[in-house]
Homo-oligomer: A and B are copies of this chain.
Amino acid sequence: MTDYKYFEDFAVGQSTETPSVEMTEAEIIEFAKQFDPQPMHIDPVAAQHITGGLIASGWHTASMTMRLLVTAANYHPAPGTVGLGFEHLKWMKSVRPGDKIRLRLDVLGVRDSSSKPGWGIVTNLFTTFNQHDEPVQEMKTSIIVPKRNK
């Protein structure tokens, strides 16, 4: 059974980290051929001159981050939860073949919803790190979550 998280279960300072997953050269090229066919993502020879070797599409990193969130972060806001959008999405460092990335999820803020009684707003920071503990992607997002005790 999924252990859903209600508004009362979130608190500022909570931090969760996932195991890491490798970004392989084959996957980087396959993703980019489909969604981001630029030389630095799909052509190892051309990429050598442009970016010192192949780099993953930022959208591949973002999608893999979503995979970590769904499959490995034990992040299960209660049914009815809706995302309110991203306040920012930044790519800070290139992801290269063989890099192992993981996700850290930090709760930045919790507050009652002023417009929807019985619900609250949780602001999260999602940071994706490589195997050298360098942040490669950061996004901040808010969700509106039902309270367990309305």
**Cβ of A47 < 8 Å from any Cβ of B?**
no
Chain B nearest CB from A136 CB (Å) reads 13
Q: Do A91 and B87 touch across chains, with their CB atoms under 8 A apart?
A: no
A: contact size bracket: 20 to 34
Question: Which residues, 67 to 100 on A, are CB-close (under 8 Å) to B?
Answer: 67, 70-71, 83, 85-91
**Residue from B36, B62, B85 in contact with A90 in the complex, judged by beta carbons closer than 8 Å:** B85
**Cβ of A130 < 8 Å from any Cβ of B?**
no
Copies of this chain, complex-wide, total 2
Indicate whether A35 sits within 8 Å of B57 (C-beta atoms), given known contacts A87-B88, A89-B85: no
Docked CA distance A45–B58 (Å): 32
CB<8 Å pairs between A and B, sample of 29: A31-B63, A34-B63, A35-B63, A35-B64, A35-B67, A36-B63, A36-B66, A36-B67, A37-B67, A37-B70, A37-B71, A38-B70, A57-B63, A57-B66, A58-B83, A59-B59, A59-B62, A59-B63, A59-B66, A60-B63, A62-B62, A63-B63, A83-B91, A85-B88, A85-B89, A85-B90, A85-B91, A86-B86, A86-B88
